[in-house]
Amino acid sequence: MKMKKLEIKLGQLLSSLSYALDIAENRYFDHSRRTAYIAYCIADELGLKEEDIIDVYYSALIHDIGMAGQMAKYSVLEIHSDPELKKEHCLYGYRIIDKLPIKRDIKEYILYHHEEWQGTGPFGLRGDEIPLGSQIIILADYFELFFVREMKRGVEYYNTESARKWLKEYRGKLSSDILCDALLSATEREKFWLDLMSNNMNQVLRMIEPGKNISIDIYGLHKISEAFSMLIDAKSRFTYEHSKGISNITGKFATYLGYDPIMVEKLIIAADLHDIGKFVVPLDILEKPGKLDSTEYSIIKSHAYYTKLILKQVEGLEDIAEWAGNHHEKLNGKGYPEKLDERVLTREDQIIAFADIYQALTEDRPYREGMAPKEAIDIMAGMVKKGELCGSLLSDFKQLVL
C-alpha cells in the first residue's frame, strides 16, 4: 500500500459530471456539453483572455447543476417556464457550487445564468449588471435548446438561415448585440455545426478544451465528490443520508484495515460517488411504494453501470470508478451489473459493498426504522454463507461496528 499522488484534469472531471447531470430523466442528453461548446465559441469570438474563456467553459459545463438533487422532480420545461423554479434552481446550484474548490466568478456565473439582458430574469439584473460569463451562458443555453428543437423537428442538416432568424428574435432581449454578433459569426463556420451535430460531444470537447492542463489533487477531488454525494442523496427522501453514511463507514473501515491516508481518501471518494448513476433512475421508480416490476428493477440496477460509465471518462479515476461501480457485485458472481466474481473483485470493491449493505440495513427509511448493528451483521453473515461477501473481511468489520 504505497502512497500514490493523484492528479485529475478538472476539465475532464467537470465534463463527466455534466454527463451525469444530463443523463437524468427529463433532461436533454449532452445539453451541458453542447452548451459548453457554444459558450466556448462565443467567448473565443469575443477574444476573451484564456483564463476567462476557461471560467466560462467550466461554468457552462455545470450550469444546470441546480436541476439535480432536490430539483430532480421537475422537468426541464417546468424549470425553464416557471419564474419561481428558474430562481430556485439557480440558488440551489449556487449553494452546491459554493462547496466546490472553484473560483468565485464561476459561482456567480451559475447563480445568474438565467438573467436576461432586458432585465426580465429571476433576479432582475439588466444589461451589464449581469456578469459577462452569465450573459454568455444564457445565450449558449437557449441556443442549444433551439438547436435540439430544430434537429427534433426532423431538420436533417444545419440551417444557418434559421439560426440567424433565432438570433434576431432574441437580440437585445435575451442577450446584447455584441454577444449575438459573436455567436452569429461562430455559426458561419461549418465546423461549428458539424461539431454540434456530432454524437460524440465528449471527443469534440477534448479537441477544443481550454485549460487542458489544469488539474486538482485528491483533496480538491474529495470536495467535489462530497458536493455530488449531497446531490445524489438529496434526490430522494429515502436516501437523504445514504452516501454520506457510506463514506463515513468506508473511511473508518479503511483506516481500521490499515490503508494509508491517500488510499483512505480515495475509498471515501468512491463511496461518495458510488450511486452517482442514480441520476439516471426516475424518481417515481426510486420512490415507488409497492413492488417493482421487472423493467423497473432493471432500471434501478442500471445505476451501478452508469456510475462506472461516468467515472471512467476521467483519466486517473480508473480504480475509483471500479470500486464505485462494483458495489453491487457479489463474490459468487450473482451480483450486478457485470456478474464479476471473486477472481476479479478486489478487497477495495468489497469495502464499498460492505459499507453500502451495512448502511442500507441500519439507516432509517420513511417506512421503517433502521436495524440495530447486531441485526445487520447477522444478515451480512448470512450473505457470507451464501458466498456473496468475504468472511474474513466480515470479522474485521464486526470488530469495527459492534
Q: Is residue 363 a contact point for Fe ion (CB under 5 A)?
A: no
Which one, 55 or 215, has the nearer CB to Fe ion? 55
CA gyration radius for the chain?
A: 23
The cell numbers describing 184, all together, are 452569429
The cell numbers describing 161, all together, are 438561415
- Contact assessment for residue 243 and residue 272, using Cβ atoms and an 8 Å cutoff: yes
- DSSP H stretches of helix in 65-131: 76-81, 83-97, 104-111
Number of residues in contact with Fe ion under rule CB under 5 A: 3
Smallest distance from Fe ion to CB 95, Å:
14
Task: Map the footprint of Fe ion across residues 45-104, applying CB under 5 A.
Answer: 64
CA–CA separation, 98 vs 363, rounded Å?
28
**Buried/exposed code over 261-284 (b: 16+ C-beta within 10 A; e: otherwise):** eebbbbbbbbbbbbbbbbbbbbbe
- DSSP H stretches of helix in 112-159: 132-152
Interacting span for Fe ion (CB under 5 A) from 124-132, 178-186, 269-277, 383-391 = 269-277
Which one, 115 or 141, has the nearer CB to Fe ion? 141
Which one, 189 or 237, has the nearer CB to Fe ion? 237
Which one, 148 or 381, has the nearer CB to Fe ion? 148
Which one, 64 or 233, has the nearer CB to Fe ion? 64
CA–CA separation, 195 vs 70, rounded Å?
33
The mark string for 272-291 relative to Fe ion (x by CB under 5 A, - otherwise) is ---x----------------
CA–CA separation, 184 vs 386, rounded Å?
64
Smallest distance from Fe ion to CB 272, Å:
13
Q: Is residue 141 a contact point for Fe ion (CB under 5 A)?
A: yes
Q: Is 258 left (phi over 0), alpha (psi -120 to 50) or beta?
A: left
Q: Which of 22, 57, 26 minimizes the C-alpha distance to 42? A: 57
Q: Is residue 116 a contact point for Fe ion (CB under 5 A)?
A: no
What is the per-residue DSSP string for 214-227? -EE-HHHHHHHHHH
Smallest distance from Fe ion to CB 114, Å:
6
Interacting span for Fe ion (CB under 5 A) from 133-141, 196-204, 246-254, 342-350 = 133-141
Which one, 12 or 134, has the nearer CB to Fe ion? 134
Smallest distance from Fe ion to CB 113, Å:
6
Smallest distance from Fe ion to CB 399, Å:
25
Which one, 275 or 329, has the nearer CB to Fe ion? 275
Residues that bind Fe ion (CB under 5 A): 64, 141, 275
